[in-house]
């Protein structure tokens, strides 16, 4: 049937990021406004004094966030997941070999971990590849995977609450990308990828889903255009 011949979205997402991973970090700087500030904020707003001994990073890519996590939490176990083998290889090369690092090439929809396995689940610009219902299912799973005082913190792209706000975000994003040195070809590639693979919902919707999954506290400590950081605490 049709469903058997349709390519699973993650396969083509994997191809896209494999083709980018060589100079992916530079492209990110050009195509994601305030990228470094966003990564800073992702960690800055974690609970002070929290005991973080085990971390799951969803969509580690080539390791931009992974490297920072490894330095920030030098004693922690760090499990990195990505659908792209090339990206994982680059991430592993940057981090080096250590018994505290685990690398797993897997689609988010196929993940399975024991309950209360992690103190922190973290992700940067990755979860938007899932459809709405798949995000809800992932949020439910993450709530189970986290320890009782665990934290889920992620940076991602979101739609506006209205179509005109969303379009304004896109327009301003394009201006910023070109100002940062992105070429028309890069922008077109990014927009093509977005139309084919990305699924944006309003921030308020995802906050509702996180609360429905059982998270007690949900906040957005940082936001710029499409990009927001969401932090959800289990208790």
How far is Cα 229 from Cα 94, in angstroms, rounded to an integer? 25
- Coil, strand, or helix at residue 23? coil
Going along the chain from its start, the domains and CATH numbers come out as 2-233 (3.40.50.150)
Stretches where the chain sits below pLDDT 50 are 1-7, 16, 19-20, 22
pLDDT per position as a tens digit, 161-181: 999 999 999 999 999 999 999
Residue 215: half-sphere exposure toward Cβ, Cα within 13 Å: 28
pLDDT per position as a tens digit, 171-219: 999 999 999 999 999 999 999 999 999 999 999 999 999 999 999 999 9
- Are 66 and 91 spatial neighbours (Cβ–Cβ below 8 Å)? yes
């Amino acid at each position: 049937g049709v469903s058997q011949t349709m390519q699973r979205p993650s396969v083509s997402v994997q191809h896209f990021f494999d083709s980018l991973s060589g100079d992916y970090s530079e492209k990110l700087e050009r195509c994601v406004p305030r990228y470094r500030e966003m990564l800073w904020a992702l960690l800055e707003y974690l609970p002070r004094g929290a005991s973080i001994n085990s971390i799951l990073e969803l969509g580690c890519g080539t390791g931009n966030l992974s490297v920072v996590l490894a330095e920030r939490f030098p004693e922690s176990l760090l499990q990195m997941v990505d659908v792209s083998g090339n990206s994982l290889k680059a991430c592993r090369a940057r981090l080096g070999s250590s018994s505290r690092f685990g690398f797993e090439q897997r689609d988010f929809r196929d993940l399975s971990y024991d309950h209360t396995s992690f103190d922190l689940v973290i992700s940067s610009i990755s979860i938007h590849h899932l459809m709405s219902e798949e995000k809800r299912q992932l949020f439910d799973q993450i709530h189970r995977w986290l320890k009782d005082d665990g934290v889920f913190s992620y940076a991602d792209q979101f739609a506006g609450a209205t179509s005109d706000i969303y379009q304004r975000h896109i327009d301003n994003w394009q201006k910023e990308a070109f100002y940062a040195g992105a070429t028309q070809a890069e922008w077109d590639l990014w927009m093509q990828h977005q139309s084919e693979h990305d699924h944006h919902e309003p921030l308020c919707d995802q906050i509702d889903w996180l609360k429905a999954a059982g998270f007690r506290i949900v906040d957005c400590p940082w936001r710029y255009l499409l990009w927001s950081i969401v932090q959800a605490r289990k208790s």
